[in-house]
Structure 1
Amino acid sequence: MRRFAHLLDRLLVTPSRNGKLALLSEYFRTAPDPDRGYGLAALAGTLTLKSVKPALIRELVAERMDPILFQWSYDYVGDLAETVSLVWKPEGEPGDPGLGETIEAMNALGRTEVRGFVRAMLDRLETSPRFAFIKLVTGGLRIGVSGRLARQALADAFGRGVDDLEAVWHGVSPPYGDLFAWLEGRTAELTIESPAVFRSPMLATPVGEGDLEKLDPADFAAEWKWDGIRIQLVKSGATCRLYSRSGDDISAAFPEVLADDTFEGVIDGELLIGGTARSNAATRTFSDLQQRLNRKTVTRKLIDEFPAFIRAYDLLDEGGVDRRDLPFGERRQRLEDVVSRLPHDRFDLSPLVSFTGWDELDRLRSTPPDPVIEGVMMKRWDSPYQAGRAKGPWFKWKRNPYNVDAVLLYAQRGHGKRSGYYSDFTFGLWRDGEAGPELVPVGKAYFGFTDAELEVLDRFVRENTVERFGPVRSVRAEPGFGFVVELAFEGIQRSTRHRSGVALRFPRIARLRADKLPADADRLAVLEAMLPP
């Protein structure tokens, strides 16, 4: 555990992507089996581990220290695993069990054995491994490493292309002994457990200043950029899988969109909620899609209330024949034929946008026909399907973001390297209440600001807290005193779950408005006017 814990410690304080890649690659090259395989699974989100509720950890701490003192400590630190790892008073001799040994022992426990095992591990481990252990067993391992980054680091560690690794990734399982043997050249071939593997997606680059001047509109097709999640549907023989853009298997959450036996191949598309164009039903917002995401199982009621479907963009494989080298125009024709034979309530084709020049496309982008459209995608007719984000073949041109001036209402400490700062903020706008103008929460934001701006926000929260609700701080917010920021967001929809009646899509802090008083901030009516009809 000590070696894995050391890796986590360094990842938490390493902000750069290249720095994280170097740390991960070194670990994958030098850590022993099966520890590195289980470490890879933990970082990539493929680890199956018997979980422990945070309440159990708190109960165990209460056996060793005063609960009120612990609550004060937790309130100051802001992270359960970090607090417990620091305040725990171990009994007995310390040790250093391996990561693989720990995970295999956890998964072999009976229900009544978990409490004693966790207590013994907290006693046995040093501070840093204790932190790593708690993060693992409570499912709170968030250290700024995505599954894609972990796979990139693994490929880098052994001089392989990440596309080669992606081609086999979903055919292997933890602790990845066969995978490491193949990567290190100890075996010439790798046996794949499942043929329905993920292909690295082709990504678009944002349209930059002056880009359009260099491009001929006649060379490009355009289609709408829908506000769902990018997916890849893979069918090989009797096996069918649905993958997210990052290569995570999300099949269990969306069983109704797994293709029937008439299709075999790979479709690249967008997962959406509502009805397909062929069923003449409306496409619903991303907030509806969120009701289905990150679930291991779904009920029939949930499927009926939030029916999912695939809007197809591209065809990567057809009947076991790789089509990625074909030009987009030919892949599109083949895709039209494939989609025409798929169930009309679960599949439709992303429509092409007719345009003759960039000015016309700009107008269409700014005023799309559906509120679930984020902008347009532009694809060269002659472009093959290339993994990664090569500038030139594909571009994305999103709608301009919405903006409002909002007032800071609540703050909460962040996690990881932000655990010492108030970095998760709730903002509000004015509306008329029974006693006069009142602020109503409209959204939360925890990114968009610089480190220097975070220092400013954190200091304001500490100096102007008026109430405490557990880890949440309510700050002073009056017409003549408070903190105003400019919020940018990508979309807005009605919501019965929020007191304001609206929900914002991807809110972020665009800039701090020290020049404005809260009385100058926007009213809720400004947001309501942005709602789609």
Structure 2
Amino acid sequence: MGDFADLLERLAFTPRRSLKLAHLAGYFAATPDPDRGLALAALTGDLDQRAVTPSLLRKIVSGRVDAELFALSYDFVGDLAETIALIWPGGADGRDVPLHALVEELQNTPKADLPALITARLDGLSPSQRFAYLKLATGGLRVGVSARLARQAVADYGGLDLAEVEEIWHGLTPPYESLFHWAEKGPKPVSAALAPFRPVMLSTPTDADALAALDPADYVAEWKWDGIRVQAVSEGGTRRLYSRTGDDISAAFPDVIAAMDFDGALDGELLVRRGDQVAPFNDLQTRLGRKRVSAAMLASHPAALRVYDVLLWQGRDLRPLPFAQRRAALEAAVQTLDPARIDLSALLPFDTWDTVAALRAAPHDAVIEGVMIKHRASPYLAGRIKGHWFKWKRDPMLVDAVLLYAQRGHGKRSGYYSDFTFGLWDGDTLVPVGKAYFGFTDAELKALDRFVRDNTVDRFGPVRAVRPEKVVEVAFEGLNRSPRHKSGVAMRFPRISRIRDDKPASEADQLDALLRMLPPQ
């Protein structure tokens, strides 16, 4: 457990991707099975165990620590596991319990016995080990490592191709002993997964200046829809729907699964579509993450797949073919499918980049984020390969808003107020309209944190209300109506793009200005 705790600490305080990969590879090399595989599963979110809830941890700590002291400490630290790890009385007993032993007892201990088990473990661990143990128990590591980065670390450790690792990943189970055996020059595991995920091809951002150097005759363009990227795989009677990172989201979209009457793998955008009308992203979001979907939800929020590429079809791997040939195969394939659930992303006619710019600036549907531009000769390549696929998103929407509330971040940001709620004027009242936790530089974060500390007027648990004096420019990608929000709207990907110290709060935007940005109903 000590080595795992050291790993989490190094990962949390290492900003550079290359160093995170080095830390992970070093851990895999130095740690025996099954502990390294269980650590990998914890990092990728594939560790199957009963998650310990925050309410249970608060109940446990209340038996050892004064409630007011804990509340003040939690407000300062901002992370529940870190607060408990630091404030828990007593010290380590010197024993280092193997990671697999801790995982097994968390998996097998009855729920009623968990408080006593966790209390005993916290009594015997050092502060850094307590932190790692609690993160392991709650399932939220928050150390700046994505599932794909963790898989990349395994590939780097064994000199493997990441695409090969990802193609067999869903046929593997923790503690991944066959995977590590392969990484150490053993045989490649035979994936037992039916309809496996294949690594997706990604695009790079572009703009008018970059496109000017390219010949438009070599490219095609299509709309970039505001849904989620998915891979629909149907093979050997098994049907699965994956997110772009390889997460299986089939359970949330049984209506799409039912329509996948083919043998192959398609790449496309998952949308909520009512007839020919694509619904805002907010409608799709109501279905994401569900383990089951009611009949009423299926009727009111029908999901559909808009496909734009084909990886495999009827046993043939089409990925090495140029885009133009894959597109022809895709057009023929879609003709055999239910158009109410699976349709084809249309290609946009253009001769010059100016035409593409005009299309991008004035799309016919508010649910369009911009345009995708793809080289006609491009094979389907895993990862973000420059020069093949480009995305040219619409310019973000902007409003000047006033900071109202702030909350501490997590991980390396746990010492800063970094999650900010902002509002606009509705007459002479400021109404919250969104929350942002990125977009600013490290220097701007420190300045905002100082403002929060110096201008707090009230506290609500971990949240601080501040004097409504600081104006920030907020950029966002889209806007939807939302009855769940007091303002009646929800922003898509809001971020603080600029601090407007040159502007008094009285000159921040009115709510009406935001409402006028809404797409027509």
Question: So what's the TM-score if we normalise by structure 2?
Answer: 0.97
**Equivalent pair of 1:194/1:239 in contact (CA under 8 Å):** no
Query: Following TM superposition, by how much is the alpha carbon of 1:184 offset from its aligned partner in structure 2, in angstroms?
Result: 1.1
Residue 445 of structure 2 corresponds to which residue in structure 1? 454
What is the 5 A alignment of 1:157-172?
157-172=157-172
Residue 21 of structure 1 corresponds to which residue in structure 2? 21
Query: Following TM superposition, by how much is the alpha carbon of 1:86 offset from its aligned partner in structure 2, in angstroms?
Result: 0.9
What is the 5 A alignment of 1:309-320?
309-320=304-315
Q: Which amino acid aligns with 1:265?
A: G
Query: Following TM superposition, by how much is the alpha carbon of 1:345 offset from its aligned partner in structure 2, in angstroms?
Result: 2.3
Residue 194 of structure 1 corresponds to which residue in structure 2? 193
Residue 272 of structure 1 corresponds to which residue in structure 2? 271
SS of 1:378's equivalent in the other structure is strand
Query: Following TM superposition, by how much is the alpha carbon of 1:383 offset from its aligned partner in structure 2, in angstroms?
Result: 1.3
Q: Determine whether 1:400 maps to 2:395.
A: yes
Q: Determine whether 1:40 maps to 2:21.
A: no
Alignment match of 1:464 (pick from 455, 476, 489): 455
Distance 1:96 1:298 in 2: 44
CA RMSD, aligned part only? 1.5
Q: Determine whether 1:375 maps to 2:366.
A: no
Query: Following TM superposition, by how much is the alpha carbon of 1:259 offset from its aligned partner in structure 2, in angstroms?
Result: 5.1
- Unaligned runs of 5+ residues in structure 1 are none
Distance 1:255 1:7 in 2: 39
**Equivalent pair of 2:220/2:348 in contact (CA under 8 Å):** yes
Q: Which amino acid aligns with 2:219?
A: F
Residue 78 of structure 1 corresponds to which residue in structure 2? 78
Distance 1:207 1:68 in 2: 52
Residue 440 of structure 1 corresponds to which residue in structure 2? 431
Q: How big is each residue's C-alpha offset from its partner over 1:436-455, in whole Å with a ceiling of 9 and x where there is no partner?
A: x1111111110011111111
Query: Following TM superposition, by how much is the alpha carbon of 1:255 offset from its aligned partner in structure 2, in angstroms?
Result: 2.1
Query: Following TM superposition, by how much is the alpha carbon of 1:74 offset from its aligned partner in structure 2, in angstroms?
Result: 1.1
Q: Which amino acid aligns with 2:179?
A: L
**Equivalent pair of 1:151/1:162 in contact (CA under 8 Å):** yes
Query: Following TM superposition, by how much is the alpha carbon of 1:199 offset from its aligned partner in structure 2, in angstroms?
Result: 1.3
Distance 1:414 1:327 in 2: 45
Alpha-carbon distance change, 454 to 423 in structure 1, aligned in 2, over 3 angstroms: same
**Equivalent pair of 1:170/1:196 in contact (CA under 8 Å):** no
Residue 286 of structure 2 corresponds to which residue in structure 1? 291
What is the 5 A alignment of 1:62-77?
62-77=62-77
Distance 1:148 1:423 in 2: 25
Q: Which amino acid aligns with 2:464?
A: R
Distance 1:120 1:149 in 2: 34
SS of 1:42's equivalent in the other structure is helix
Structure 1, 348-357 or 288-297: larger mean CA deviation: 288-297
**Equivalent pair of 1:5/1:129 in contact (CA under 8 Å):** yes
Residue 254 of structure 2 corresponds to which residue in structure 1? 255
Alpha-carbon distance change, 515 to 189 in structure 1, aligned in 2, over 3 angstroms: closer
What is the 5 A alignment of 1:331-370?
331-370=326-365
Distance 2:76 2:332 in 1: 60
Query: Following TM superposition, by how much is the alpha carbon of 1:488 offset from its aligned partner in structure 2, in angstroms?
Result: 0.7
Query: Following TM superposition, by how much is the alpha carbon of 1:294 offset from its aligned partner in structure 2, in angstroms?
Result: 2.3
Q: Determine whether 1:236 maps to 2:227.
A: no
What is the 5 A alignment of 1:169-180?
169-180=169-180
Query: Following TM superposition, by how much is the alpha carbon of 1:91 offset from its aligned partner in structure 2, in angstroms?
Result: 8.0
**Equivalent pair of 2:158/2:182 in contact (CA under 8 Å):** no
Distance 1:257 1:472 in 2: 41
SS of 1:172's equivalent in the other structure is coil
Query: Following TM superposition, by how much is the alpha carbon of 1:236 offset from its aligned partner in structure 2, in angstroms?
Result: 1.4
Query: Following TM superposition, by how much is the alpha carbon of 1:351 offset from its aligned partner in structure 2, in angstroms?
Result: 1.1
Query: Following TM superposition, by how much is the alpha carbon of 1:344 offset from its aligned partner in structure 2, in angstroms?
Result: 2.4
Query: Following TM superposition, by how much is the alpha carbon of 1:297 offset from its aligned partner in structure 2, in angstroms?
Result: 3.2
Distance 1:506 1:262 in 2: 34
Q: Which amino acid aligns with 1:411?
A: A
Query: Following TM superposition, by how much is the alpha carbon of 1:94 offset from its aligned partner in structure 2, in angstroms?
Result: 4.5
Distance 1:167 1:449 in 2: 36
Distance 2:104 2:296 in 1: 36
Alpha-carbon distance change, 507 to 237 in structure 1, aligned in 2, over 3 angstroms: same
Which 4+ stretches in 1 moved above 6 angstroms? none
SS of 1:132's equivalent in the other structure is helix
Residue 151 of structure 2 corresponds to which residue in structure 1? 151
Q: How many residues align?
A: 520
Q: Which amino acid aligns with 2:430?
A: L
Distance 2:432 2:60 in 1: 37
- Unaligned runs of 5+ residues in structure 2 are none
**Equivalent pair of 1:29/1:158 in contact (CA under 8 Å):** no
Q: Which amino acid aligns with 2:508?
A: A
Distance 1:490 1:350 in 2: 21
Alpha-carbon distance change, 197 to 284 in structure 1, aligned in 2, over 3 angstroms: same
Distance 2:491 2:435 in 1: 9
Distance 1:455 1:286 in 2: 33
Structure 1, 174-183 or 34-43: larger mean CA deviation: 174-183
Query: Following TM superposition, by how much is the alpha carbon of 1:93 offset from its aligned partner in structure 2, in angstroms?
Result: 3.6
Distance 1:38 1:345 in 2: 43
Residue 489 of structure 1 corresponds to which residue in structure 2? 476
Q: Determine whether 1:213 maps to 2:200.
A: no
Residue 505 of structure 2 corresponds to which residue in structure 1? 518
Q: Which amino acid aligns with 1:31?
A: T
Distance 1:262 1:52 in 2: 40
Distance 1:331 1:152 in 2: 28
Query: Following TM superposition, by how much is the alpha carbon of 1:502 offset from its aligned partner in structure 2, in angstroms?
Result: 1.3
Q: Which amino acid aligns with 2:512?
A: A
Query: Following TM superposition, by how much is the alpha carbon of 1:320 offset from its aligned partner in structure 2, in angstroms?
Result: 1.7
SS of 2:319's equivalent in the other structure is coil
> How many percent of aligned residue pairs carry the same amino acid?
56
Query: Following TM superposition, by how much is the alpha carbon of 1:80 offset from its aligned partner in structure 2, in angstroms?
Result: 0.7
Q: Which amino acid aligns with 1:239?
A: T
**Equivalent pair of 1:447/1:508 in contact (CA under 8 Å):** yes
Question: So what's the TM-score if we normalise by structure 1?
Answer: 0.95
Q: Which amino acid aligns with 1:99?
A: L
**Equivalent pair of 1:257/1:308 in contact (CA under 8 Å):** yes
